[in-house]
Amino acid sequence: MIKTWEELEMACRNCNKCELMRTRNNVVFGRGNRESKVLLIGEGPGQQEDEQGKPFVGRAGKLLDNLLCAMEISENDIYIANIVKCRPPANRAPTNSEAKTCINYLRNQVYLQDPKIIVCLGNTASKYIIDEDVQITKIRGNWINKKNFLIMPTYHPAALLRDGSKKIPFWEDFEKVKQKMQELNFLQ
């Protein structure tokens, strides 16, 4: 286990353990407050994220930011990371091999951050955080207790861009997250 954020970020930037490193522009490590007790986990970087080196800065990220702003949850209240740190070609989902190769970096981020609430954004994040056989449509919106974490699976913001009917359930899931953050005094 790497003991500092700086060393971990450097290890990610120097990683060459899978094929994704060949096509990346930037390693997308994370953004937000590293001391927050709330961690949002996505799938992996898209084109905008790869160009800017930050997670959730494209269209789906803007949608997520708008939701958080409307709920009065600031970037200081959360930290955002992904299952994989490099962009899969054509924004495809990471392969099982890519995800399993990169997941230890995310585990190390969890170790350093020590969150109490984890929000899994989409099926890929839920698969690698909760259980490989999960289906987001069946578990979203329900709190899952696992290894001292409260985990809320919900849709990925990109899914809302493709299917507007998911916006209300996504909002409702984040209302539960905000309520739990308030109960635990995690909002600043």
- Residues 50-69 have pLDDT tens digits of 999 999 999 999 999 999 99
- Average confidence (pLDDT) over 8-25: 96
DSSP letter string over 39-62? Answer: EEEES---HHHHHHTSSS-SHHHH
* 159-188 average pLDDT score: 96
Greatest alpha-carbon span in the chain: 44
CB 85 within 8 A of CB 108: no
Supply the pLDDT for residue 188. 76
Domain boundaries in the chain? 5-183
Mean pLDDT in the chain? 97
pTM of the model: 0.98
Mean pLDDT, residues 25-51 taken together: 97
- Rounded Cα distance between 137 and 86, Å, is 26
pLDDT digits (tens, 9 = 90+) for 128-168: 999 999 999 999 999 999 999 999 999 999 999 999 999 99
Question: Where in 3-148 does DSSP place strands (E)?
Answer: 31-32, 38-42, 79-82, 117-121, 144-146
Res. 72 pLDDT band, cuts 50 70 90: very high
* Residue 184 pLDDT class (50, 70, 90 cuts): very high
User: Taking 80 as the threshold, does the pLDDT of residue 34 lie above it?
Assistant: yes
Q: Among 41, 12, 43, which residue's Cα sits nearest to residue 27?
A: 12
Residue type, 36: S
Q: Please give the CATH architecture assigned to the domain spanning 5-183.
A: 3-Layer(aba) Sandwich (3.40)
Residues 6+ apart with CB under 8 A from 161: 59, 60, 63
What tokens were used for 52? 């800017």
Q: If pLDDT is split at 50, 70 and 90, which confidence band does 114 have?
A: very high
